[in-house]
Amino acid sequence: MRKALLIVGSCVALAMLVTVVTTTRALDTAEEELQKWGPNDRNRPEPPIITPGTESTQAVPGRPPSDAIVLFNGHDLSNWEEVKGGPAKWTVGKGYFATVPHSGDIQTKAAFGDCQLHVEWATPNPPHGVDQDRGNSGVYIQTLYEIQVLDSYNNVTYADGEAAAVYGQYPPLVNAARKPGVWQMYDIVFHGPRFDANGNVTRKANVTVFYNGVLVQDHVELTGPTANHERPPYHPTPERLPLRLQDHHHPVKYRNIWIRELKEGQ
């Protein structure tokens, strides 16, 4: 028993050490940058100037910031493809595109790392089904980490499967769902995992999510990729991977999708 306790204690201590080392490295990077400049130093480079975007309305999507990469131009799916390659088969309407049930997921042709992501979506009106069988889709960051899309307006389901949940891991802090058929917004800040040469995790992924302007995921640390009824461990992955949208056999609409890539330390 004592030996087992010692082993468990050693594992806990090791996990705490890894967390401390990872956090310390991030703090060291920020501290090093800070120490390059004195307080109010006029020689310090100014931030780049961009043109901010505009707010969306239900009738008209907003304009992305000038430094954003636009992933849907309102007219075609030229930036998207099927997961196995080939043109995306989802339908394009006037200023939006929609899932084609049972056609399969689609993903961006380009790969992305740490990012700020904006996605607008709408579930069918009138609603059909209950629980998870109602306006179900998902935004998969780096194809592995799902922010759930679901009609959660007057619809009871398991907490970590609601709209804006980190699927299977973290429920949203609140349910900020709008009515079915109404455009909803995710603003997501994501920092991906990092691995050493041996495949060990040196930094876990973390995510912050605003749902319809409300903070619902506050810099939560992911346990690994998301999955149904399990929590898989991390495995070594590239720092840049595509963004994926899920076909969960429901007709969900998307519009005004853009991404801003973040530099290390942002």
The per-residue DSSP string of 26-43 comes to HHHHHHHHHHTS-TT-TT
pLDDT score at 30: 73
Q: What is the pLDDT of residues 44-94, one digit of tens each?
A: 999 999 999 999 999 999 999 999 999 999 999 999 999 999 999 999 999
CA 98, 104, 110, 113 dihedral sign is positive
pTM: 0.87
Whole-angstrom Cα distance, residue 102 to residue 165?
23
CB atoms closer than 10 angstroms to residue 16? 10
- Residue spans of beta strands (DSSP E) within the chain: 69-70, 80-82, 91-92, 97-98, 106-108, 115-122, 137-141, 145-149, 184-191, 194-195, 201-203, 206-211, 214-221, 244-245, 253-261
- Sort strands 80-82 and 106-108 into parallel, antiparallel or unpaired: antiparallel
pLDDT score at 32: 82
Low-confidence winner among 29-38, 170-179, 253-262 (lowest mean pLDDT): 29-38
pLDDT score at 17: 44
pLDDT bracket for residue 182 (50, 70, 90): very high
In angstroms, how far is CA 201 from the centroid of its own chain?
A: 19
Instruction: Yes or no: say if 80 and 88 are a contact pair by the CB < 8 Å rule.
Output: yes
Per-residue pLDDT, averaged over 208-219, amounts to: 98
Angle 246-100-250 from CA coordinates, rounded to 5°:
65
pLDDT bracket for residue 25 (50, 70, 90): low
CATH topology for 69-261? Answer: Jelly Rolls (2.60.120)
Looking at residue 82, the DSSP 8-state letter turns out to be E
187: nearest Cα among 44, 62, 98: 62
One-letter identity of residue 75: H
How far is CA 170 from each of CA 9, 78, 165, 199, rounded to the nearest angstrom? 27, 33, 6, 25
